[in-house]
A and B are shown apart, each in its own frame.
Chain A
């Protein structure tokens, strides 16, 4: 093995003083062993870096936004269900609990709009898709604190979702669709 290899490392890291760097460059030009070593290093490391970039890309892209949305759909449904309880529900209870209302009483009660709760600073209130969206009698608008549904950092500041919920006659949630 060429005994220059120790200095080759320093040369590649640009840590040699100018005159020694010039010597090293000349040596690499003339010594086939060192030249091959540097060339191989360049090629492999270029491919390796590209590979790392691709891994990074794959890992950071792998979390489509709708996955946590679906995962939290149950939580959202549970909270919505609470809103349809009888008597006078004035605001979202702090903790979701199983609704104890009978289906019949749910139908008799006209739900009232619920005070929106926003704990996350800077987040815009949830808006209806358009101003003409006629609210049927049972439609309500609630805001679920972002940290109740998503892991920290999963949703950038200022992002809100509109929940489109269809309810069955017995008060259960038939379907839930979240759209940004």
Chain B
């Protein structure tokens, strides 16, 4: 069994006999048998808690047969495809095609930007699509923010959603209750910091505040993990994300626990509310009020925030700190030997990445008007990380495209309901096997010595520095 099932792995040199029909059939039969054992109990038998609390079960052999059959057929199809396409990774595009892609790549970014600017114009009457576009842009921004930490500095962060949560809760709490410490301070000075007095300006004042608070948390996380590397770092950031979520969930006095916070102030166009009233934005510019205005405004807001993230990242890459990040990603030991201060380099990466996460969080809170811990689970972190990795770790355009593909794909499968996460997980596995270096591989350092050389990511210990 060991030997016969081997071709499940992509083989680099197709050997004689591996493509024969008998071999393919044999492999499919074995796959089907494995599937039968795997699924016999899990699919063949369905358990459910009965009315009086005891467990009941019933059989579903029809479904079982269907799934096993699907595995059999799927195995044959995959093997045939492999036979026709050839081993994974051996397809070399001709130079002319690659040149064409390069040209396309150069025009893709401006074209996407122009398209993004025109989205509210094109889809003005399609509320659903506008909403989706806002969601996609939120993830683009989160992806770009995490890209600073993971893609540029090479620090694997599995708890990025913590900063998103900190931003969202900072905004929600500060905007609602002023300084959120009335529990601790009985006397009056806290009124001096009542953000409700800001009225319509609340969002614009609190947006940077949320970002700063998030980056503060980034530094708080950064300090203990300074010495950690690779997988240890990943698991600590994951634990950190979970701690933040659990504290939010359990600190009921402050955060409302699982009920969340509702009635979060909506954003204003620099102080002018988007309401139907006399002082609303619509009345101000003399057009009839429409709820779509808010969506359009939110879209441009998140687009501006995302572009800010992008711009800052691009600028930082050219500053000494950005160079230090990339150097640290490639080799931390060498970096230290060259006298780069690893402490500030790491902390700044965490702080700046977290800050953009905080901005995105504040935006999320103001867009939804309601937040609860459910929005900040590990799944979100994994989704954003998947976007960054699929985008090619360090490529700004790649991250944007990956965000569009992932969130768009996620929406397409909305009808599948509970199968959605199953499909998402499966797609993540398949994409990793198919393109482990991302859809658009690009993580060459910005500076080169003497000659422009390609640095293959397989030679670099990822997340190891």
Q: Do A and B bind each other?
A: no
Interface residues of B (CB under 8 A from A): none
